[in-house]
Structure 1
Amino acid sequence: MTTLLLVDDEKNIIELERLYLEKEGYQVEACYDGHTALAKFRALKPAAIILDLMLPGVDGWDVCRRIRQESDVPIIMLTARDQDIDKIVGLELGADDYLTKPFNPRELVARVKAIFRRTSPTPKTQRLSIGDLTMDLDRREATVGKRQLELRAKEFDLLAVFAQNPGIVLTRERLLQIAWGYDFAGETRTVDVHVAHLRKKLANAHTQIETVSGVGYKLVSEQ
């Protein structure tokens, strides 16, 4: 059974999440502070973490940062803070998704399912190549020439969308729909943050992500 770790200091929120997630067949473990969250993460090795920002002891940002030093486990940040800067910081620290309270628990379930769809193995080996970039979708590996790229789960998903559509201009909304697996309206900065990360990792490559002003992005190769 797939184990999820819920981290929130509001017990009523935990119980609401638990109710809907257990109905979908997930095994749910919960805790209410940052120190316990880190301990449970290491002990349980959950398949995904739903993490509140405002925690006693160690806050959610620090918990996310520490987990990212050890693992690429998917993290959904769930918080009452809805300022853009909070979302950007969370994504910069490695969160895969961000949901603002109050929330519809069915949307949370949909986002959890979307994360697992993106990270589940493909049924057969698929390889994509554009310029000096090669992606093995089955192994979830990407290389530029002989250099292997160190990509987080969401970065790989986003780069794969570009590689499957070489030279095609993709809007931020379309990228969110494909790479995130659902409509993520109003959060297009998520794409910008992840594109910025990818550009750093593609530095000196002949294959780059170009901005198309007022529209979106496209993957192009100089080779």
Structure 2
Amino acid sequence: MSRLLFEKTGESIYISHLDLMRVFQRAFRRAGLLLRHSQGFTPRAIVSIALPLALGTESRCELLDFELQEAGTVTPEQLNAVLPAGIRVLEVYETGRKLKELVYLRVQVELEYDQGAPSAEAVDAVFRQESIMVEKQSKKGSTQVDIRPMIRKLSVDRPDGHTIVLDAEITAQQPSLNPMLLSQAVETALGKADFVHCRRLEVLDGQGEVFR
């Protein structure tokens, strides 16, 4: 299986998952790279993104699997020449690793407060609780979930009087934890932030090593 690593930054963070799939299919076509299609009445291009990214979230570590009709070399430069601003391929490679081996995400969440951020100690205390209940929205409505078991590691920094930075390793799938729920836990306990920014930094396997 061929796999590529790409980043999604800038204005591209507002491109939805389905539109991002279309962006890549179009990019392959414009680069003269023909994707293999599935068999059947409605053939689909064999291309998939590992973990759908929430709208508005930046990422430096997105993975996309693909198959070409004919064996050949694909370079980041070929695709970057036809991809929109903010979406950039970092690496293209062959892999035998299955996506089910992808277990954790390393993420960063920044909370900004116009009137002053809570102390790092107060935020740290939120995540030291045995149970961290937040409200999770889904197509079926909202439910209360305990996100504590989904957090492998977490550190808190207060680089200035107006910013809190969370660096965490969280579950990527089965179950997955949206990093925005980390900010929700802080805001529920200590008050609303004026701005929240989330980014994925790295994908990890079950041992906490970089997954490729």
* Structure with bigger RCO (C-alpha 8 Å, 6+ apart): 2
TM-score by length of 1: 0.24
The structure richer in strand per residue is: 2
